[in-house]
C-alpha cells in the first residue's frame, strides 16, 4: 500500500444483516479505512440449498476477488462464515490480505482456553467453523473441545427486523455453553447479541467483527 494512501477495504457480504456490525467495528477501531461493500444475498440462499461448496460457488468467489482487486482493494474481508474453502482459494490467488470472517476471533479463543463454545444462526456454517477452529488449533499445537449450538430462529428474527428476539434467543442458546472457557458468536450478524449473551454467562464472549477489523488493520499497518 502506498504511504499516506487511505486503505481501501472491500467487504463481501452474503447477508444484509452482516453489514452494520462490521461498519460499527470499523467506526470504532479503524475509521480511517475506506469501506467498499459488496452484497450478494443470493450466496446465502444458494449455500443453504447445497450440501457442500460447488465448483460454481468457487467460481463466484474467484470473480468477487478479481473485482475487489480491480477496484483497488488493499484488503478483502468476507463476512459470511459458510464459505471458508472458497475464501481460502481467493487468498491464495490474490496478493493482498484476504480474511475469513472468524479467523481472528478463533486466534483469540485459543488464548482463552481449550473448551470453546460456538453459537451460530446458519446451520451450514457450523461444520466449516468447527473444521477451521480445529485446524487452527492443530497448527498452534493445541487441543480444543468444541460444542456448537445453532439457533436459526434468531437469524429469521433478525431478518424480520426483530433484533430484541434475536438477542434473546442467542442468549438462551449461550446458556447451554456456560461451562466453556469462551463462547464465540459465530456470524458477523450475531455480534449485536453481545450484551444479551454476556449478561447470561460468566465466561468471555468473543465476536467476529472487532477481531477481524483489528487483524486487517495490523496486516496493512505493519
Tell me where in the chain the CATH 3.40.50.1860 domain(s) lie: 8-101+210-221, 103-208
Indicate the CATH number of 8-101+210-221 among 2.60.40.10, 3.40.50.10540, 3.40.50.1860, 3.40.190.10.
3.40.50.1860
pLDDT at residue 2 greater than cutoff 80: no
pLDDT band at 188 (very low <50, low <70, confident <90, very high): confident
Q: CA–CA separation, 136 vs 110, rounded Å? A: 9
The vertex-98 CA angle with 93 and 99, nearest 5°, equals 140
What's the rounded mean pLDDT across residues 41-52? 91
Residue-wise pLDDT for 66-81, tens only, equals 999 999 999 999 998 8
Residue 124: pLDDT band (50, 70, 90) is confident
pLDDT in tens, 88-117: 999 999 999 999 999 999 999 999 999 999
- Residue 101: exposure state from Cβ atoms within 10 A (0-12, 13-18, ≥19): buried
Instruction: Provide the CATH topology of domain 103-208.
Output: Rossmann fold (3.40.50)
Q: Are 96 and 75 in contact (CB under 8 A)?
A: yes
Residue 195 has φ and ψ, to the nearest 5°, of -65, -45
CB-based burial label for 76 (10 Å; 0-12, 13-18, 19+): buried
Residue 125's nearest CA partner among 170, 80, 167 is 80
Amino acid at each position: 500500500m502506498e504511504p499516506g494512501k487511505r486503505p481501501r477495504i472491500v467487504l463481501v457480504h452474503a447477508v444484509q444483516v452482516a453489514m452494520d456490525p462490521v461498519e460499527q467495528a470499523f467506526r470504532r477501531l479503524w475509521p480511517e479505512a475506506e469501506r467498499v461493500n459488496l452484497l450478494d444475498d443470493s450466496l446465502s440462499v444458494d449455500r443453504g440449498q447445497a450440501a457442500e461448496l460447488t465448483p460454481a460457488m468457487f467460481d463466484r468467489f474467484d470473480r468477487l476477488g478479481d473485482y475487489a482487486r480491480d477496484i483497488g482493494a488493499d484488503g478483502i474481508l468476507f463476512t459470511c462464515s459458510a464459505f471458508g474453502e472458497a475464501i481460502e482459494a481467493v487468498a491464495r490467488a490474490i496478493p493482498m490480505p484476504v480474511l475469513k470472517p472468524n479467523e481472528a476471533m478463533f486466534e483469540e479463543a485459543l488464548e482463552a482456553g481449550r473448551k470453546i463454545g460456538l453459537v451460530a444462526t446458519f446451520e451450514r456454517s457450523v461444520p466449516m467453523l468447527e473444521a477451521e477452529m480445529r485446524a487452527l488449533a492443530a497448527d498452534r499445537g493445541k487441543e480444543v473441545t468444541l460444542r456448537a449450538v445453532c439457533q436459526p430462529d434468531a437469524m429469521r428474527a433478525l431478518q424480520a427486523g426483530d433484533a430484541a428476539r434475536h438477542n434473546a434467543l442467542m442468549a438462551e442458546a449461550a446458556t447451554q455453553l456456560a461451562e466453556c472457557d469462551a463462547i464465540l458468536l459465530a456470524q458477523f450478524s450475531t455480534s449485536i447479541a453481545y450484551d444479551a449473551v454476556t449478561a447470561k454467562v460468566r465466561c468471555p464472549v468473543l465476536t467476529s467483527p472487532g477481531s477481524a477489523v483489528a487483524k486487517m488493520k495490523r496486516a496493512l499497518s505493519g
